[in-house]
Structure formats: structure tokens, C-alpha cells
Structure 1
């Protein structure tokens, strides 16, 4: 499942970041590393951007970024 497919309130664990090296590096620097827990806090009215909770922070991501992060849901 992709991070962009989560529903608000769901929690997941990052499995992989599937994008080019430079783009992946930027996501890694923001904390989107494998085995890190994330939660979807809010989705904008038109579906993008989304607000993701990660490591005690809220980060805003566009669909392009969220679609490159593979996750496994751990709670609904």
C-alpha cells in the first residue's frame, strides 16, 4: 500500500521509499526511513496535500511524494 492511499487516522510503518536517488534522499532527511511509524492526520479537500505525523512532527506532503512511499498498515 502507498502512503497516499491511507485514510485519516490510520497508522502504518514505512516499508520502502521508491523514487529517484535525489528525491529519496530528501524524504530520508525528513525522517521517512524504513521501519518508521507514520500516521495520516489530514487530507485536503481535493486529496492533496496531506498532513502526515512522523517522529513527533507534522509534515505536509503532496501526492507525488506520498505515492513514492510504500507502507504497511498497522492500525485503522
Structure 2
């Protein structure tokens, strides 16, 4: 039998809301499967926490309010 690329199995339980959010994100990102979507979200979370090598990612690549590719076009204006 051939060695598996991913020999570890992880089983999780999700609420209806969590599953809906996962499926919505998966389809928006055109991910091929739930497992692929979960792996990508897990990778992104671990990278954001500094627990995985970003492989060249910079802090500017991660944002909450804007897409860095838009050069701040969507940012919320600061008052004062």
C-alpha cells in the first residue's frame, strides 16, 4: 500500500452556522472540497498566529478592512 500524503485524520463537529459559513467561504473561494477549505482556513489561521512559515507572506498581506491589492481603497476613514 502506498504512503498517504496526509496520513493523519481529524474529525470535527460543527454547528449549522459554522458549516454554512464554511460552505459559503468554500464556494466563494472555489475550493474543491470541504477538507481543502478546512485545511486552507487552518493554514491561514496558523500563519496569522505566527505558528507556520508564511513562505514569503508579509504582514501587509493580511488585513481585516481592506484588500492590500486595492492599496487601501476600501479602508474606513479615520476621524480627527
- Higher helix proportion, which one? 2
TM-score by length of 1: 0.22
Rg comparison, structure with higher value: 2
Greater relative contact order (Cα 8 A, min sep 6): structure 1 or 2? 1
- Higher strand proportion, which one? 1
